Structure formats: C-alpha cells, structure tokens
Amino acid sequence: MKGIIRKNLALLITTPRIYHHTRPPKFLRSNEVKQLLKTLLYTTPREIRASAFTHIACDLGLRIGEISKISLDDIFFKEQEIKIPERKGKNPVVLPLPEGSLKAISAYLIGGRPKTNNRALF
C-alpha cells in the first residue's frame, strides 16, 4: 500500500493557533461560588436583579451575553427548566434550573423587575 499517495498530505494540516500572550481563563472554585452567593443582598430592586443575574451565571455557567438574551418565555417554572436561546454555538439549549436560580428569578420578577411590556428577563 505504500506509495499510493504521492503528495505529502501532512503539509496541508493546520495546527490551532497558540496565543502566547493570553492567560488561561480564571474561574471560581465551588467553595468560592458558594461564598459569593451567600453575600448577595435582596433589599433593593437593583440588588434583587443582580442576585438573579449572579445566580444564573454561577449555577448555569452562562456568559453575560447569553443571560442578556433570556426572555420571560424561556423560563419554565413548573418544569424547572430554562431555555438558553443562543449559546456560543448558536444553537438553543434547555437546561435544568437549579433551585437557587429559580428562587432568585422569582424574587426578581416579584420585587425587582420594573413593570414593562418588554419580554426580556433583564
């Protein structure tokens, strides 16, 4: 079988870019996330909103852009699920909604979200 392909195809393979000046992503460890969530306040509408946003980010590992695209129609309270309309790969995904996020979103909808016809969660 040797010698069938005359051209060296290995030369056509590209390697991934290596960024020498970038740092690896930073993340919070589990105990740090728990500590962060314990410090959240729920006294003003702004704090309630920040708490809901933070819970969603920490519990589901979502980016700011993904969270900002969530609408009220994407939250399924009875099923305890949330649809993320646009992930990095552009495909929507349905995720289980942890109890902490569910409670924080509920608190935001009841006591923090301004009255508006806009369906965006935040």
Instruction: Give the CATH number for residue 87.
Output: 1.10.443.10
Q: Do residues 84 and 101 touch, judged by C-beta distance below 8 A?
A: no
Range of the domain at 107: 28-111
- pTM of the complete model beyond 0.95: no
Query: Does 23 map to a domain?
Result: no
Residue 25 has pLDDT above 70, yes or no: no
Residue 17 has pLDDT above 80, yes or no: no
Query: Does 74 map to a domain?
Result: yes
Torsion sign (Cα): 68, 71, 74, 79: positive
> Using one digit for the tens of pLDDT, what is the confidence trace for 35-75?
999 999 999 999 999 999 999 999 999 999 999 999 999 99
Query: Does 32 map to a domain?
Result: yes
Query: Does 18 map to a domain?
Result: no
Query: Does 104 map to a domain?
Result: yes
Number of domains in the chain: 1
Q: Do residues 97 and 88 touch, judged by C-beta distance below 8 A?
A: no
Query: Does 17 map to a domain?
Result: no
Q: What is the pLDDT of residue 11?
A: 83
Query: Does 84 map to a domain?
Result: yes
Element containing residue 108 per DSSP (H, E) = helix 99-111
Query: Does 44 map to a domain?
Result: yes
Q: Do residues 64 and 121 touch, judged by C-beta distance below 8 A?
A: no
Q: Angle CA(10)–CA(12)–CA(13) in degrees, nearest 5?
A: 70
Q: Do residues 72 and 121 touch, judged by C-beta distance below 8 A?
A: yes
